[in-house]
Structures are given as structure tokens and as C-alpha cells.
């Protein structure tokens, strides 16, 4: 999700920066997946997401919370996730490939790479523990997946690929392992079901009072900062942005308010706590 491009400081300033900010330099740059020769790559439409689907159904509940403890402890399921990431490495993107297949591919790639990145650090309380602002390991930038012989970071997948595909609902599908994110859908995105899945997850996002609230009497809408961070993806101005999300809002009053042209928009705080099922058992 929103993370920008953080300033990197010199090694000489590292000790001061860490002591002042309390940040950890734990972790290191890493790349997963395979460097697949061109002749062994396959069109993205042929990439099988069933392995990811099985893992999501096993470890993710209907609310998008992840059973990281069990996943981390299961060598077989960790290997299954790595096999899936290796499978993604085989993708090519010929002009004949469908837009839906490419969207589903990169959404799944983003989410699977994020989960793998968190599992490598788990136990942890937040992805922000592993996204250094100044110097050191940044999971969004330094953890990469090889696809078609090229490494892609989470930041590149989000900003350089998905956002440029012109589908604003990706912001309710890609998940940065945080409570403030949309729910992690407990099934893999596929080309055939993509529109249905994006619609369902977008509606679920706006049905969550921690992500969206409205007050018709005061003519206010209070919404996740995702709609602020990525405002331009939803329209050129606030009126267009609200019209974009209106079909997915939870009731007629909310939809009418969003399209009225006379509404004040406020933004909620973002919860960077880990989307960890164990949170509810403490």
C-alpha cells in the first residue's frame, strides 16, 4: 500500500538515525523465484494459481486474517508457497494475453510475495517493523520476485504495473499484511472470476466501519486514507472520485451522499497492525 520512496542515508549516519528513530536494520535484500530461460516461459493466461488458492483457503479466514503461526510452522506449506512463487517466475506477457489474466497474476503475486516476506520475519507485530525509513532493509523495496527473468519489488508491482493498468479496485485487492488494508481474499484471483472478486472485495471494504463511515445529517464521509493516498486513481477531482466508489458503498444513503456534490470528506487513521489471526486470541 502507500509507502512512497524513502530517503536513504549514509552508513556514517546510520547509528544516529537508528538510535533516534528506534528502527532496526534487521533483514537483507532477497530475491525469490526462478530465473527461467525465455524458451521455458509460458503466457500469463496459462499460469496456474491453484497452489496459492489452496494455501489461502487453509490459512486465511473470511475476514482476511492470516494464520501465520501455523503457516510458519508447516514446512510443507512453506515449500508450497515457494513452489507457487517459482511458478509465477515462468510467466510471459505476449500481446495476445488477456488484461484480466495479467491483473489476476500481479494481484496474486503482490499478495503471495507479501505473505512470504512476513513469514520470513514472523513473529512480528507489523510490516512497518521491516520497512526502514532511513537505512536498512525495506520489505517493500528489497524483497523481490523474479518474473520472466526480471526481479520485481512490491513497490514496483504496485506502482509501476498494477496502478498503470487503470483498475482502481486493485487498491481493495492487494494487501500489505495490515489491519488497515482490505481483507486478504481467501481464494486466488483468476481471470474468469476477476470482476466478481474485485467487486466483492471492494464492497466488503466499504461495508467495514473501520474503513468507511457516513453521516447524512452532517453531510460527511469518513474513509480510509487509501482514498487519499491514491486519489488520482479514482478520478481527477473529489466529485469524480466519490462517483467511482459510489456503486460499492453499503446503502442508498451512502451512495446518494457520495454523488450529491456537497459532501465533506475526512480520512481515518491507518492501522498498521499485522493481519494476524492470533491477535484475536490474546
Among 171, 193, 196, smallest CA distance to 183 is for 171
pLDDT, tens digit, for every residue of 184-243? 999 999 999 999 999 999 999 999 999 999 999 999 999 999 999 999 999 999 999 999
Question: Do both 22 and 125 map to the same domain?
Answer: yes
Question: Do both 137 and 250 map to the same domain?
Answer: no
How far is residue 144's CA from residue 129's CA, in Å, rounded to a whole number?
18
Question: Do both 140 and 188 map to the same domain?
Answer: yes
Domain-embedded: residue 1: no
Question: Do both 122 and 22 map to the same domain?
Answer: yes
Q: Which residues of the chain have pLDDT under 70?
A: 1-27, 280-282
Domain-embedded: residue 228: yes
Domain-embedded: residue 5: no
Question: Do both 212 and 121 map to the same domain?
Answer: no
Q: Which residue has the cell 456537497?
A: 262
pLDDT of residue 2: 46
pLDDT of residue 27: 63
Question: Do both 86 and 222 map to the same domain?
Answer: no
Question: Do both 164 and 79 map to the same domain?
Answer: yes
Domain-embedded: residue 278: no
pLDDT of residue 134: 84
Among 136, 88, 223, smallest CA distance to 128 is for 136
How far is residue 197's CA from residue 241's CA, in Å, rounded to a whole number?
21
Question: Do both 172 and 59 map to the same domain?
Answer: yes
Mean pLDDT of the chain: 91
Listed in sequence order, the residues at least 6 apart from 76 whose beta carbon sits closer than 8 Å to its beta carbon are none
State the residue range of the domain holding 245: 208-267
Burial class of residue 96 in the structure, from the number of CB atoms within 10 Å of its CB (0-12 exposed, 13-18 middle, 19+ buried)? exposed
Task: Classify strands 264-267 and 220-223 as parallel, antiparallel or unpaired.
Answer: parallel
pLDDT of residue 202: 98
Number of domains in the chain: 2
Rg (the chain; Cα; Å): 19
Amino acid at each position: 500500500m502507500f509507502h512512497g520512496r524513502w530517503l536513504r542515508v549514509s552508513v556514517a549516519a546510520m547509528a544516529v538515525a537508528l538510535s533516534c528513530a528506534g528502527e532496526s536494520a534487521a533483514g537483507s535484500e532477497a530475491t525469490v523465484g526462478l530465473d527461467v530461460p525465455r524458451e521455458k516461459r509460458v503466457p500469463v493466461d496459462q499460469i496456474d494459481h491453484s497452489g496459492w488458492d489452496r494455501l489461502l483457503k487453509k490459512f486465511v479466514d473470511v475476514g482476511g486474517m492470516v494464520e501465520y503461526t501455523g503457516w510458519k510452522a508447516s514446512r510443507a506449506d512453506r515449500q508450497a508457497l515457494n513452489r507457487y512463487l517459482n511458478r509465477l517466475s515462468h510467466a510471459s506477457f505476449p500481446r495476445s494475453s488477456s488484461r484480466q489474466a495479467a491483473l489476476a497474476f500481479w494481484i496474486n503475486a503482490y499478495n503471495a510475495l507479501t505473505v512470504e516476506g512476513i513469514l520470513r520475519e514472523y513473529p512480528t507485530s507489523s510490516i512497518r517493523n521491516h520497512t526502514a525509513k532511513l537505512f536498512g532493509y525495506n520489505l517493500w523495496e528489497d524483497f523481490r520476485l523474479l518474473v520472466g527473468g526480471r526481479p520485481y519489488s512490491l513497490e514496483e508491482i504496485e506502482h509501476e504495473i498494477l496502478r498503470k493498468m487503470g483498475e482502481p479496485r486493485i487498491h481493495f485487492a492487494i494487501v500489505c499484511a495490515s489491519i488497515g488494508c482490505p481483507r486478504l481474499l481467501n481464494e486466488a484471483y483468476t481471470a474468469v472470476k476477476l470482476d466478481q472478486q474485485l467487486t466483492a472485495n471492494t464492497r466488503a471494504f466499504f461495508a467495514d466501519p473501520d474503513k468507511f463511515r457516513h453521516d447524512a445529517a452532517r453531510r460527511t464521509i469518513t474513509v480510509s486514507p487509501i482514498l487519499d493516498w491514491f486519489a488520482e486513481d479514482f478520478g481527477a477531482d473529489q466529485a469524480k472520485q466519490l462517483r467511482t466508489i459510489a456503486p460499492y458503498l453499503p446503502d442508498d444513503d451512502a451512495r446518494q451522499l457520495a454523488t450529491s456534490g456537497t459532501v465533506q470528506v475526512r480520512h481515518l487513521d491507518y492501522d498498521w497492525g499485522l493481519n494476524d489471526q492470533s491477535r484475536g486470541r490474546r
